[in-house]
Amino acid sequence: MPNEIFALALTVLAGLATGIGAAIAFLIRKPTPRLLSLALGFSAGVMLYVSFTEMMPTATEILGGNTSAQWLAVGGFFAGIGVIAVIDWLVPEVSNPHEFHTSTDFLSSPGEPTLVIKKEGETQAKLMRMGVMTALALAIHNFPEGFATFVSGLYDIETAIPIAIAIAIHNIPEGIAVSVPIYFATGSRKKAFGLSFASGLSEPVGAVLGYLILREVMNDTIFGVTLAAVAGVMVYISLDELLPSAEKFGKHHHAIFGLIAGMAVMALSLLLL
């Protein structure tokens, strides 16, 4: 029971990091493209580093550490990539929390441009729908992440903590993606923050549902493959969405500096654990 409580608490904290993203969107009144580029690169660096240095080796070890285990881990990894690719394909781009739009998102100024949302041609109803759909899409994306965090907490605390940190950091820009259109549609910070915060609850919900469904058959094989699959999900999101978006918002080196900083922070946290 203590392990289950710890695992659930860790999953809740990781999921509710979307609330941090909403708070940042409101506290920083003039977020710049450079800042967002660095943040997206940082998130990608964290996820890539923890996927390849922590999650995949741990998954292989749990599966037995032999050649068969390596094949299973690799299979799980690419299966995770396939699942998230299908989800991204099914979710419309405008409501996908991993799609960042840049064509009309910036207003040029003599200094550095400021990140803004242009409301021309967009009604409040459309903005509201965008925010709600983004929250729903985010909930779908977060289910496997929450399950992996929860099960990791049950099996190995040292593995679970860096996974939770990586997912939490990744959830911050997603919280921004949910809260901003809601705020512009309603003018209410409370509603925007509340929906963004609530969307993060999908992780503990997914964790509990997945555990209840699989607990009777849960074993090292299922856990190892799940861990490898979530590593694939995180790598796909980093390479397909976060890094390309970071480069669109800022310069190439902004994205790379953020990427390296994310890896360095994650490496340091693993060494200090």
Angle at 22 between CA 16 and CA 23, to 5 degrees: 100
82: its two tokens: 């396939």
Report the percent of the chain where pLDDT is more than 70: 75
**Banded pLDDT at 32 (limits 50, 70, 90):** low
pLDDT of 67 strictly over 90: yes
The range of the structural domain enclosing residue 168 comes to 1-272
148 class by beta-carbon count within 10 Å (0-12 exposed, 13-18 middle, 19+ buried): buried
Long-range contacts: 22-26, Cβ < 8 Å, 24+?
22/175, 22/176, 22/178, 22/179, 22/192, 22/193, 22/196, 22/197, 23/193, 24/172, 24/175, 24/176, 25/175, 25/176, 25/179, 25/180, 25/183, 25/192, 26/179, 26/183, 26/189, 26/192, 26/193
Check residue 121 and give left, alpha or beta (phi > 0: left; psi -120 to 50: alpha): left
Structural domains counted in the chain:
1
Residue with tokens 């976060």: 242
Percent of the chain with pLDDT over 90: 11
What was the pLDDT predicted at 118? 47
270, 53 Cβ separation under 8 angstroms = yes
Q: Averaging pLDDT over each range in 68-72, 97-101, 184-188, which range is the top one?
A: 68-72
Specify the range with the lowest mean pLDDT, choosing from 102-106, 154-158, 239-243.
102-106
CB atoms within 10 A of CB 250: 23
Reading the block at residue 217, the tokens are: 């058959």
Which one is predicted more confidently, 157 or 1? 157
Model confidence at 105, pLDDT cuts 50, 70, 90, reads: very low
- The residue assigned the tokens 């967009």 is 122
Phi-psi region of 104 (alpha: psi -120 to 50; beta: other; left: phi over 0): alpha
Question: Do the beta carbons of residue 161 and residue 239 sit within 8 Å?
Answer: no
Token pair of 39 as six digits: 């943040």
Does residue 115 sit in helix, strand or coil?
A: strand
Distance of CA 60 to the CA centre of its chain: 23
- Please give the annotated binding residues for Zn(2+), written as ranges: 145, 170, 174
Quick check: 255 pLDDT over 50?
Answer: yes
Q: Does pLDDT of 26 surpass 60?
A: yes
**Model pLDDT, residue 103:** 36
Confidence band, pLDDT 50/70/90 cuts, at residue 114: very low
Lowest mean pLDDT segment, chosen from 68-77, 128-137, 147-156, 160-169? 128-137
The pLDDT score that the predictor gives to residue 154 is: 80
Is 108 a residue whose pLDDT tops 80?
no
* 114 or 155: which leads in pLDDT: 155
Q: Which amino acids are annotated as binding site, given as ranges?
A: 142, 145, 170-171, 174, 203
- pLDDT exceeds 90 at position 260: yes
Its sign, for the CA torsion 159, 162, 166, 169, is positive
Judged against a pLDDT cut of 50, whether residue 116 lies above it is answered with no
In angstroms, rounded to a whole number, what is the distance separating the alpha carbons of residues 265 and 43?
A: 11
**pLDDT > 80? residue 265:** yes
Q: Rounded CA gap, 50 and 160, in Å?
A: 11
Question: Across the chain, what does the average pLDDT equal?
Answer: 76
Rounded distance between C-alpha atoms, residue 166 and residue 14, angstroms: 8
Geometric angle at alpha carbon 259, from 173 and 70, rounded to 5°? 100
What mean pLDDT do residues 28-47 have? 74
Over range 18-41, report the average pLDDT: 73
Binding residues for Fe(2+): 142, 145, 171, 174, 203
